[in-house]
Chain A
């Protein structure tokens, strides 16, 4: 059962019970008051009849000495009969006159002193009996009168209340349904939104205006969805990155494996000449070397991912001179020059990792540069941190590739990169090292003009 239906039924039931109880009480009280009125009227009548009859009888006895009262009473009673009042006269429990219906049963009113009233139902009609001693001798008088109007009144009123409660119920139902429908509209809206989001539409939000509980709930719910969808996004991104990484790694492994497998098969089974043999052996050797580099870099990358480093002060000048010394051979090979200037002197980090980072960057620069060109290493202060910079005037990076260049295995020009022995992990490693230092790598480049890689260290 829906909430609004429950609400509707509960309100309706409570109202009906309350209304009917009230109506019943009112009815009872009203009937009681009417009955009292009826009785007091009856009693007044009884008194006046008793007085008149006692007087008439005493006069009659005095005048005639006759003790046969019946004719007197009969004519007297006939007078009241017109007013629908019936009389019974008893003398010492002996009925001496009656124009009322006779019936057997307890006649408590006979013993009334001065009077007693009893309501009786006879033939489905209500009668009021009032009885009591008369002043005259030991006679007893019982008058009875039809009081059925009381019952009719009661029935009419009850009928009225039933109709009233029915009509009010109808009006109330309509009003309740309308109100409840309006009031529960936010719940339905919320429900719809929740269902949509549960079905995977994480970009949807529930829109409910107002500051009531529903509005609050909707806001809280939206906040929850925000949090959940953020988490999902992160998880998706991570798993996508992982998949891309693994795909790239597989691809990266496939080529050397294909070459080694193919050439060894060739050497084993084919009818080759000396030149072909040399070529095959050369390729096998070259691709084993490539696998070696790949596994080394992979190990480094995996190691970096799990490492926590301690930041210690590193002298930048020493760092630069170490890197320059390490790359001396490559530099000389291409008749290049490398210069460095240190405005900032100290950076906080892990010395070996920073060396590895700079060597990677300088090697990239050497590969990108032509014979005789120059590479510049710089350090300077920037806001509260230190920046290390590697600048070359080589072939540069196309603008569309700059954003992707730190992704694992991404190389701008595959065939050229392979010739230079690159496998696309260098910048990925650099990025990892930078992250361990809470540093950011920024790459500016213009094709065929320059490439500037800046590492912003935020920790002093």
Chain B
């Protein structure tokens, strides 16, 4: 899992990002101003920086180029919602620009995309004798390869990315089938059932009452 540096002067927000990262199994380092970032980058191998724009000391827009120079991807996470700020942020080297208030699932999905793009994500996921090779799209249970449809694999990938977080049926449809899917949310239930059976994950994929599902690790 990746090591992520969180820079936000609001302790509450900083901790909020931290607990969400912890849920999905990332490691993290927390900073509350812009001054210590470069020092931290020198000392610890960091895979990704989540950076607020308005910071005491050096602000996010000032410091981003120094971080990008070191080949560390940056996501801005800020309350500044002007399009010009967003464009500026992306132009000066950030990989993504997320506006507060944010949704944890969305933040994690975007982090995942960037980690994958920068090849800083693990290609393998192991749980109870089940091995998922994310790159190769293969799944084995106790060494035996399991047949999977494309949809099933995407659902599995999404659950793994957001492990320990409850995902609503709508969110699952949006992320695995796409926005233009007009089917019933029951489709999700059917696919979850199939996954549980194929992977022996009856207890691992929990049903969240009246909401959706959660992969518990």
List residues of chain A with CB under 8 Å of any chain B CB: 250-251, 254-255, 257-259, 261-263, 265-266, 268-272, 276, 279-280, 283, 286-287, 413-415, 418
Contacts and interface: CB of A to CB of B under 8 A. Distances in A.
B19 A279 contact: yes
Nearest to B164: A271
B165 interface: yes
Contacts of A283: 12, 15-16
18 contacts: A250-B81, A254-B79, A255-B10, A255-B13, A259-B16, A262-B16, A262-B102, A265-B103, A265-B104, A269-B166, A270-B164, A276-B19, A283-B15, A283-B16, A413-B56, A414-B9, A415-B11, A415-B33
A255 B79 contact: yes
A269 B103 contact: no
A224 to B, nearest CB: 36
A270 B19 contact: yes
Centre residue among B15, B101, B166 by max chain A CB count within 10 A: B101
Given A258-B16, A261-B101, A263-B12, 17 more contacts: A254-B79, A259-B12, A262-B13, A262-B16, A266-B19, A269-B167, A269-B211, A270-B165, A271-B23, A271-B165, A272-B19, A279-B19, A283-B12, A287-B12, A414-B56, A415-B11, A418-B11
Contact of A266 (B33, B100, B104, B216): B104
A415 B35 CA distance: 13
Nearest to A259: B12
A308 B89 CA distance: 45
Contacts of A287: 12
B201 interface: no
B194 to A, nearest CB: 23
Interface of B: 9-13, 15-16, 19-20, 23, 32-33, 54, 56, 79-81, 100-104, 164-167, 208, 211, 214, 216
Given A259-B13, A269-B211, A254 B101 contact: yes
B214 A259 contact: no
A399 to B, nearest CB: 18
A265 B105 CA distance: 10
Chain B CB within 10 Å, residue with most, of A251, A254, A262, A414: A262
A251 B165 CA distance: 28
Contacts of A255: 10, 12-13, 79, 100
